[in-house]
Amino acid sequence: MSQANVPSRITVREAQTSAERTAACAVQFDVYVGDGYVDAERAAANLKPETLMSGGTQLMACRPDGTVIGAVLYLYEGSTLQQVAEPGEREIRMLGVAREARGEGAGEALVRASVERARKDGATALVLWTRPTMESAQRLYARLGFTRNTDRDILDERGFTRMVYAFVY
């Protein structure tokens, strides 16, 4: 998956500064709370730059003017934030694209960048989980070569199944 397939107007890079990490978390907060996936209290407790930095790095999708329109958390091997990764795998969590930017290719760019980063890290697979209601995300993952791993699905305490996907190298 080369970056050549990503729309040129979207740039993906690692959040470096406190302001960038805060902007990435703000996008994720707006998506997950605004789309009804999590309540604001839970999101505020979990989407803190200092918490996320301890287990991974925020990748941001930006427009040419630098506006952050999407973000994903790329977890380090052995991160305490991992939920579905097995030894040798990398995991991404909380992919989110601002509502007004959907359809611009930011989600695809973030996933492609994560796949490339995991490949460079020598991972055996890149894994993630999604909710049954996140149908557009499931279509994106399938289109980019991820496969469903139903044997790794997890029942979430909130009453849905965490659907596990893997991109195997």
What percent of the chain is modeled with pLDDT above 90?
Answer: 83
Residue 73's nearest CA partner among 89, 90, 88, 94 is: 94
Tens-of-pLDDT digits for all 169 residues of the chain? 444 444 458 999 999 999 999 999 999 999 999 998 888 888 888 888 888 888 999 999 999 999 999 999 999 999 999 999 999 999 999 999 999 999 999 999 999 999 999 999 999 999 999 999 999 999 999 999 999 999 999 999 999 999 999 999 9
What's the pLDDT tens digit per position in 78-98?
999 999 999 999 999 999 999
- Domains in the chain, CATH or no CATH each: 3-168 (3.40.630.30)
Nearby residues of 163 by Cβ (< 8 Å), 6 or more positions away: 129, 130, 131, 132, 138, 148, 150, 153
Nearby residues of 70 by Cβ (< 8 Å), 6 or more positions away: 27, 60, 61, 95, 96, 97, 98, 101, 106, 107, 109, 110
Judge if pTM exceeds 0.85: yes
Nearby residues of 141 by Cβ (< 8 Å), 6 or more positions away: 111, 128, 130, 165
Instruction: Compute CA 34 distance to the chain's CA centroid, rounded to the nearest angstrom.
Output: 17
Tell me, what amino acid is at 5? Answer: N
Residue 156's nearest CA partner among 84, 78, 89, 72 is: 84
